Structure 1
């Protein structure tokens, strides 16, 4: 097994730029951190990472491409993804103000995080791009895909933890209930905008 150092040097920053940039998952994590705190939002993060791992497998094996190409299944999956993102944005926007123990929304847990990962249109586009390019191990297609998948997962885990931490850090900066509500609503709006952009792109 020979690793092409030039391809690897190009692949790593590409992964960081694509998976670490603002999108439905990263903004969802930051919003969950700001609305509910790092510790409370960790199950949401773990669910998201589990969903990402499955998404990587589905994209890498070509299953997703086949489903999205179907004239009926493709649009249905896209519509379901959009509806779920709206639901998640609502839960974030209606989260209890910081310091308020009686909120109109509970913190999203493992399952919402998993579903977010599986319905994130940006993730499918990004993973397809990363898998189709960059011959890091040019002499072995299978090992090349496995190596890239593991590297993507590792780097994505670091960036997702960072987004959640940054969001939770904001939680301690805003103790005013009205300002807290505005922050939550702002994150929810950004989440919806990122979804719209991802679907349009």
Structure 2
């Protein structure tokens, strides 16, 4: 069980679409919008976990075309989020400040995020600690994951909010937002060229 908890911690805390976009939303839009986004991410994350446990995800992800479609959709959505975050604090007259992604945006990201499916498949198919009661094991795993997932995402949100509260000049705030957006674009590129990504298609 401790090995499982450690795996959850390191898999979740490392930069990925969820935590990077959480920090970006916090930096670009502040606490309320960031909290709504994290709630959406949590709902989506739980839905993905249930899809993996029930076997529904395995049926769909066995199809290479569906896996590719998910990767393309998540990449496009992350680029869209990156665009919104990049210009959230911009004081450029011809760019209208975009609305934050909110709960629906968080759910949507997790639903099409291939990393979420891969992480849950790894965690639920391995690290068995109750082999005689797989149902209880799945429930305990979901509880442990949630107990770790929630504070980590709020920590990333706090990091983004802290940047937001520094009352930076418009130019510096825009630079921070552009950095957050660029980090998300790097995630998209890495996902595309990772084994099994678009580069292998």
Aligned twin of 2:159: 166
Q: Are residue 154 (structure 1) and residue 142 (structure 2) matched?
A: no
Instruction: Name the counterpart of 1:28.
Output: 21
1:119, distance to aligned residue in structure 2 (A):
1.8
Could you tell me which residue of structure 1 aligns to residue 10 of structure 2? 17
Deviation at 1:92? 0.8
Task: Provide the alpha-carbon RMSD of the alignment.
Answer: 1.9
Q: Could you state the TM-score of these two structures normalised by the residue count of structure 1?
A: 0.88
State how 1:43-192 maps to structure 2 within 5 Å: 43-97=36-90, 103-192=96-185
Whole-angstrom CA distance in 1 between matches of 2:164 and 2:27:
5
Q: CA deviation at 1:96?
A: 2.4
5+ residue gaps in structure 2? 196-201
Q: CA deviation at 1:174?
A: 4.8
Q: Distance in 2 between matches of 1:103 and 1:154?
A: 38
Aligned residues: 192
1:141 deviates by 1.4
What SS does the corresponding residue of 1:192 show, helix, strand or coil? helix
Q: Within 2, Cα distance between the matches of 1:40 and 1:71? A: 35
Q: Shift of the alpha carbon at 1:76?
A: 2.0
Deviation at residue 97 of structure 1 after TM alignment: 4.2
Of 191-200 and 8-17, the range deviating more from structure 2: 191-200
Is the 1:96–1:103 contact (alpha carbons within 8 Å) kept by the matching residues of 2? no
Q: 1:171 Cα shift? A: 1.2
Q: Deviations over 1:42-92 (max 9, x none)?
A: 111111111011011011222222212224333222221211111111111
- What TM-score comes out, normalization by structure 2 length? 0.88
